[in-house]
A and B are shown apart, each in its own frame.
Chain A
Amino acid sequence: MKSPRPEQPLAVRITHWANVPLLAVMAASGLQILAAFPEMGPKGAPARWYPFQDWTPPSWMRAGGWLAGARHLHFGLAWLFVANALVYVVWMAVTGEWRRRAFQPGRDSRNALQTLAWYLRLRKSPPEQELYNGLQRLAYTIAIVLGAVEVLSGLALYKPVQLSLVAALFGGYDGARAVHLLGLVALVAFTVGHLVLVLLHPRALASIFTGGRRS
């Protein structure tokens, strides 16, 4: 028989809260780097499909002060960001905790749609759920995948020649650059949604500090 686990075990709480400043400073230093050349696509061939072409982030969104400072900050903190993510992923795998968190299409698709219907007021009651509903599992799993995309596209930008195979995944250096920025936009969208929903469900907010109920 399994011993009861809290909703948010200590390892989850630690990596979650470590990730907050890390992701924030990675994003802010990344935007400072972007400000040096806020255009996507190679010189002479700007990417017309890119929706944020020539958008210079305002200074309050940036960290690192200038290009060299921001690059040092970005490439220094990247280690901690990746290390924290690895601790999380390995811990999930070793403890089997991922089973109640990761989105599994066969198990969770129907529940995700029902939850969405409830949020859209197309359904009178929420579907039954365990720790998370299907929509939460989908959102949190997408966030992890986005983090991996950011790391891979970042490596492609850092070493487009030595790691040319990684760069090729994104169609080369300029493709990786667009993916790196669009991935950030998606992570920001996730974070906004995450904050809104957690404020609507204060018990979830408490559990990421305290661990929550054991079950």
Chain B
Amino acid sequence: MTVSRRTVLGFALLPLACDSGKPHKGALGFAERLNDRVQRGLFRSGKLAPEEPASAVTSAGEFPLYKVGDAYPDAPERWRLRVHGLVAKPLELSLAELKRLPPTQFRVRHHCVEGWSAVASWHGVRVAEIARLCGADPRARFVEFRSFERGQPAEDGPEVRYYSSWDRESAEHPQTILAYGRNGDAMTIEEGAPLRLYSAVKLGYKMVKWVDEVVFQPVRTGGYWEDLGYEWFAGV
């Protein structure tokens, strides 16, 4: 990596131009973009999170299950997963159809941005498999996962859908799945049923619950927490 004049200037300004209320702007935003590049550089598609032993599984009730709405959302009638964007063949898949696709299961540690960790096993279908099925275009460098859950990020602001945009490499990591089960059982509403994103390579807030849309995109967008100021890449 060459050290550009901008890099030097950015560092020089770092202590002067920090507005922690707006972490994407100014010197903090500069540092975030640099760290994004470093995180992408560290990321290895073939690097798997270690399988945790059964004894490490967090007991029921101790694994926090966050939501942004007032109540856990009910799945709409006739729920379908819609896959679209830069794809050869847009898809609409029912849960039964998703369950007929090759399943994947892993038991890994979950890392929350708050600092806690917890362990569960998850099963579902790889996002990479969905990308293959719909013929996702290689120019779609990003994947946006959208939820039917709604929250109100600013007290006086509008309600918005929970969502999160990912780099394509992390989305197609072998341990990134659209999960319909946890710890061997069907998933509950609180855990994100009918379908949620689960991954061993991102922080928890990137793993959208109650997913109903997957969009392959040529541009990077944001996310519910990302738009408020949390970092976009958020890899572990």
Contacts and interface: CB of A to CB of B under 8 A. Distances in A.
Interface string A40-83: 00111100000000000000000111111111110111011000
Interface stretch (B69-77, B116-124, B132-140, B141-149): B116-124
A174 interface: yes
Given A21-B15, A43-B62, A68-B23, A159 B32 contact: no
Interface stretch (B93-101, B159-167, B228-236): B228-236
B20 A80 contact: no
A125 interface: no
A39 interface: yes
A179 interface: no
Nearest to A172: B109
Contacts of B231: 68, 71-72, 75
A42 B108 CA distance: 13
Contacts of A25: 15
A164 interface: yes
B179 interface: no
A127 interface: no
A112 B73 CA distance: 65
B28 interface: yes
A55 to B, nearest CB: 13
A32 B38 CA distance: 24
A191 to B, nearest CB: 20
Contact of B201 (A66, A80, A161, A163): A161
Nearest to B22: A69
A79 B11 CA distance: 9
| Chain A facing B: main interface SS | helix
A164 B48 CA distance: 10
B114 interface: yes
Contact of A75 (B31, B47, B64): B31
A60 to B, nearest CB: 16
A76 B116 contact: no
A30 B11 CA distance: 20
Interface string B82-123: 000000000000000000000000000101111111110000
Contacts of A39: 116
Interface of B: prevailing SS: loop
B35 A75 contact: yes
A34 interface: yes
B20, B30, B34 — which one has the most chain A CB atoms within 10 A of its CB? B20
A160 interface: yes
A162 B20 CA distance: 27
Nearest to A168: B50
B31 A37 contact: no
A37 B236 CA distance: 18
Contacts of A72: 20, 23, 28, 31-32, 229, 231
B114 A67 contact: yes
Interface in A149-189: 158-164, 172-174, 177
Interface of A: 21, 25, 33-34, 36-37, 39, 42-45, 63-73, 75-77, 79-80, 158-164, 172-174, 177
14 contacts: A21-B15, A37-B112, A37-B115, A66-B20, A66-B229, A69-B23, A71-B113, A71-B230, A76-B35, A159-B39, A160-B236, A161-B201, A163-B42, A173-B111
Given A34-B115, A76-B27, 17 more contacts: A42-B109, A44-B58, A66-B21, A68-B229, A69-B23, A70-B20, A71-B231, A72-B23, A75-B31, A75-B231, A76-B32, A159-B42, A160-B109, A161-B47, A162-B42, A162-B43, A177-B115
